[in-house]
């Protein structure tokens, strides 16, 4: 009996692990760290002493779970809606294979279950905190996240509306949700930092649209990058990244300056270095885009643009983690004696 049970568990373990891996792929597990960055930034600006460690831990876990469930729902909706397009993209082979192994009906069922779980958690959270704004923000965010890819709205195909939706879903709503978990009033410096984050987020998304530019254009999908063209879009990414870095840096600088440990503002050099490193990559992408335009569509340059912009997840990670580092320092400075 014992050996039979052991044999069943030995077989079930790898199957369960593989199922989790497949769902992590279609849910874009790489969003986990950016989501953590959103939580940390909201927490850093919203939490103030006195605050019990137990209360803080419960609120952080609930908030982070809701943010990640919502992110997974949006990613899975994207996986389902973009399946036909993704099958033609060799870079998304792993995503397509994961979708095929799970199955469309099973993924839709999981999406519904996640939605109901997230809704229950948000409702519970709203009751605990006594803040109806948390429920309204979640409804707005989940609706935009779902219909960004899903028909009939499919916001991603509407050039100027798509970036606004992305900024709200990826930056504004998650950070605001985490902020209002602890705060009840808006801090003006927090709004400046949020504006900086929003500009930065779309700035670092531009190379992702650049990577998909040639496929999107061929399929008639009018992202903002397709609408503007490679050169203008690449330059816009540079402008947004610089503006976002300046606003975020200024918010933290004044936050530290009016706090008990102004000397900690020296660590803003980490943000400056991260933005500078990414800007160098952006500038190279801009130069390649100009070269591609002047060459009248040379395929070798197009491939170089795709290859370079494929490294964008690393650039996103570098900038967002620099922001998270400053948020952690800012949070610690509030609770130091």
Contact 200, 248 (CB under 8 A): yes
Residues 25-80: tens digit of each pLDDT: 898 887 887 888 889 999 999 998 888 888 888 889 999 999 999 999 999 999 99
Higher-confidence residue of 157 and 336: namely 336
Give whole-number Cα distances, 332 to 36, 276, 278, in Å: 17, 26, 27
> Is pLDDT above 80 for 160?
no
User: Which fold does the domain 12-184 belong to in CATH?
Assistant: Tetracycline Repressor; domain 2 (1.10.357)
Rounded mean pLDDT, 234-240: 95
Residues 314-328: tens digit of each pLDDT: 888 899 889 999 999
Q: In the numeric block, which tokens belong to residue 217?
A: 């254009």
Rounded mean pLDDT, 333-337: 86
CA distance 148 to 153: 7
- pLDDT tier at 85, thresholds 50, 70, 90: confident
For the chain, which residues make up each domain, given as ranges? Answer: 12-184, 187-337
DSSP, collapsed to helix, strand or coil, labels residue 60 as helix
Q: DSSP letter for 1, please.
A: -
Higher-confidence residue of 187 and 84: namely 187
Residues present in the chain in total: 337
> Is pLDDT above 50 for 9?
no
Residues 264-305: tens digit of each pLDDT: 999 999 999 999 999 999 999 999 999 998 988 788 898 999
CA distance 148 to 198: 17
Percentages helix, strand, coil for the chain, rounded to the nearest 5?
A: 85, 0, 15
- Residues near 79 by Cβ (< 8 Å), separated by ≥ 6? 26, 86, 95, 99, 107
Continuous H helices in 212-311: 213-219, 224-228, 230-257, 269-294, 299-309
Residues 162-220: tens digit of each pLDDT: 888 888 998 899 999 999 999 988 899 999 999 999 999 889 888 888 888 887 787 77
- Residues near 155 by Cβ (< 8 Å), separated by ≥ 6? 144, 147, 148, 149, 161, 162, 165
Contact 235, 243 (CB under 8 A): no
Q: DSSP letter for 169, please.
A: I
- pLDDT tier at 246, thresholds 50, 70, 90: very high
CATH architecture for the domain at 187-337: Up-down Bundle (1.20)
Q: In the numeric block, which tokens belong to residue 175?
A: 């950070």
pTM score above 0.85:
yes
pLDDT value of position 13: 57
CA distance 138 to 116: 13
Supply the DSSP string of 10-24, one letter for each residue: HHHHHHHHHHHHHHH
């Amino acid at each position: 009996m014992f050996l039979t049970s052991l044999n069943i568990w030995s077989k079930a373990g790898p199957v369960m692990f593989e199922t989790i891996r497949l769902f992590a792929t279609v849910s874009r597990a790489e969003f986990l760290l950016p989501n953590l960055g959103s939580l940390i930034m909201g927490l850093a600006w919203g939490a103030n002493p006195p605050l019990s460690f137990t209360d803080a831990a419960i609120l952080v876990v609930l908030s982070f779970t809701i943010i990640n469930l919502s992110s997974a729902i949006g990613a899975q909706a994207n996986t389902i809606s973009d399946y036909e397009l993704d099958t033609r993209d060799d870079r998304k082979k792993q995503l397509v294979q994961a979708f095929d192994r799970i199955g469309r009906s099973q993924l839709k069922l999981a999406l519904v279950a996640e939605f109901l779980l997230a809704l229950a958690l948000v409702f519970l959270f709203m009751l605990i905190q006594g803040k109806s704004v948390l429920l309204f923000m979640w409804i707005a965010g989940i609706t935009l996240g779902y219909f960004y890819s899903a028909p009939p709205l499919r916001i991603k195909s509407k050039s100027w509306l798509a970036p606004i939706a992305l900024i709200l879903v990826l930056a504004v709503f998650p950070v605001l949700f985490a902020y209002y978990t602890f705060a009840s009033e808006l801090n003006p410096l927090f709004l400046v930092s949020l504006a900086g984050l929003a500009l930065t987020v779309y700035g670092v998304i531009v190379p992702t649209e650049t990577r998909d530019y040639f496929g999107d254009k061929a399929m008639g999908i009018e992202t903002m990058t397709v609408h503007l063209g490679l050169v203008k879009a690449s330059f816009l990414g540079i402008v947004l990244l610089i503006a976002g870095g300046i606003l975020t840096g200024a918010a933290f600088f004044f936050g530290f300056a009016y706090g008990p440990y102004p000397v900690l503002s020296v660590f803003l050099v980490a943000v400056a270095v991260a933005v500078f490193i990414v800007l160098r990559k952006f500038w190279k992408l801009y130069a390649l885009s100009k070269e591609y335009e002047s060459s009248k569509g040379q395929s070798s340059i197009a491939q170089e643009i795709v290859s370079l912009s494929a490294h964008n997840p690393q650039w996103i990670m570098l900038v967002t983690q620099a922001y998270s580092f400053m948020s952690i320092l800012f949070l610690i400075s509030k609770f130091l004696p």
